[in-house]
A and B are shown apart, each in its own frame.
Chain A
């Protein structure tokens, strides 16, 4: 148990755990992107910025109001979602009927605005956010040491992802959402307020990103750029999995995180590009993406 191909087992499991943590964030963010894309037909480039806002809002809640982690986990997503709903109402809703690329460019502009504003307000490179009291310490699992907070992140994100899948695939509300995607006019004729449904869906997707941001705050340092580089990787994840399926997004997110963890053990120099290499291979073998239904 001590070593595997000359690498201590402890190190392997440690990296795999890190990979699983990264995978949790890939999964949550790509699920949010998939939810938004499913109904709005928009690739939300601001998703990374909204994730970063989630972390920032929880830092601000603690720093200025003394509101701790557990309340932040509830409040920050709501606050960021309200902001997202405003963005949808004021900007995105005016794009209906236009080419998809305009939604991409508009949300890219929104991301630049959010990032630029926060970089002006907080020019320091990163702000500390400590792990909540209840989740400090860790468990000795025999083969490795599991910090409690990391375990919590994996459980929380899995729960969120599966809850989203249940809502979309198994409830009446989800049926409305899928119907709005298929035929919004028909659904409107049945008396459903489709524009409101669209706005709330965007808000929900944004809230998911912000929730991921709160979870990330104690692990990664809170900084205005924390979402920008992550979102590019998440886009690659989404290309690999396809945006058509929630389950696909969850599975792809977690497994790519794990693969990245493996790469860190066996070929550290290549770990930052392994996801892009996998994307290239998937494009060659199955261009529609692993879970893609349409091209």
Chain B
């Protein structure tokens, strides 16, 4: 895997940390936060919220692929099931937005624990096939289950009042909630990667046999990071359902799993902020090229091929190399 070892090593140096963040990362977070805070005054907030949801989704996926070297090709299962559950919770059970989202995250985490525990029993490319197959099973379930609304999905989900107090009906007020959720997720991922847990994960990624011989219970680590990744993907999916007020089959379809792989690959797998860049690029492209319909699939395919053959480090990976950074 194309991961710049030098950059990774530089990342490990704990030079004067604030909130557990190195100076570079703190700057990056602050800049991102400022951009996100100013952006809704210039750009359509719903578009920005979509970008943030997918940025979180891609970062959660990257936690597994980039830092655990586990290619899950079925992450739509967690994104989509959380989306369905949070939509159902808000519409039928009448839960407040934060509780609906939590319900979605909870289900995604459970699903991640079950599928993850089975999938880690195989390695390499089989792992990808196992996760893809189980995600297809979740898709079939969503197609047939009584509460998911089949082909129509769950529509016109009410946005409700945050904590039962603050109305989120306007895009602008919802925007700040989505912003908070996204940055909470990104920060959590940062903490996981740079924790002792993250270091062991890195050791497993680099040399699994060695990590095992050092006494680490490799599969336990793998399942744990799988659950974290699934839960955070669920957070993204549940939030997306609140923003767009729908949960549909496309959220659980394998093409969604492919999209999140594409975002991560394009942005730079194994980098901290790459998936954010990748998600922003892909979502912008999709909305600009929306009138072209099925050509979008072709373009996705071309980006995949080009990225794999010539651009394996991704946008942020290349930036890191050029500017000697470790974003």
Q: List chain A residues, Cβ under 8 A from B297.
A: 112-113, 115-116, 119
- 9 closest Cβ contacts across the A-B interface? A109-B304, A112-B301, A116-B297, A113-B301, A116-B298, A236-B133, A287-B121, A276-B137, A235-B129
Stretch of A58-66, A134-142, A174-182, A277-285 at the chain-chain interface: A277-285
Subset of 26 A-B contacts with CB under 8 Å: A43-B129, A100-B125, A101-B124, A103-B125, A109-B304, A110-B305, A111-B301, A112-B301, A113-B298, A113-B302, A115-B301, A116-B297, A116-B300, A119-B294, A120-B294, A120-B295, A232-B132, A232-B136, A232-B254, A233-B136, A236-B129, A239-B130, A273-B140, A276-B136, A280-B118, A283-B119
Interface secondary structure of B, over-half rule: helix
Chain A 76-107 against B: per-residue CB contact (8 Å), 1 yes, 0 no?
00000000000000010011001111111110
- Chain B CB count within 10 A is highest, among A91, A104, A108, A111, for A108
B302, closest chain A residue (CB): A113
Chain B 48-88 against A: per-residue CB contact (8 Å), 1 yes, 0 no?
00000000000000000000000101000000000000000
* Nearest CB of chain B from residue A67's CB, rounded to whole Å: 28
> A295 near B: Cβ within 8 Å?
yes
Which A221-241 residues sit within 8 Å CB-CB of chain B? 228-229, 232-233, 235-236, 238-239
Chain A 252-280 against B: per-residue CB contact (8 Å), 1 yes, 0 no?
00000000000000000100110111011
A272, closest chain B residue (CB): B140
Give the total of A residues in contact with B, Cβ under 8 Å.
Answer: 47
B297, closest chain A residue (CB): A116
Q: Which B residues contact A (CB, under 8 angstroms)?
A: 1, 71, 73, 118-119, 121-126, 128-130, 132-134, 136-137, 140-141, 144, 254, 258, 261, 265, 293-305, 308-309, 312
Cβ-neighbour of A238 out of B129, B134, B141, B309 (below 8 A): B129
Cβ-neighbour of B121 out of A119, A277, A283 (below 8 A): A283
Q: List chain B residues, Cβ under 8 A from A295.
A: 122-123
Cβ-neighbour of B265 out of A95, A105, A117, A277 (below 8 A): A105
Which A1-19 residues sit within 8 Å CB-CB of chain B? none
* Nearest CB of chain A from residue B203's CB, rounded to whole Å: 18
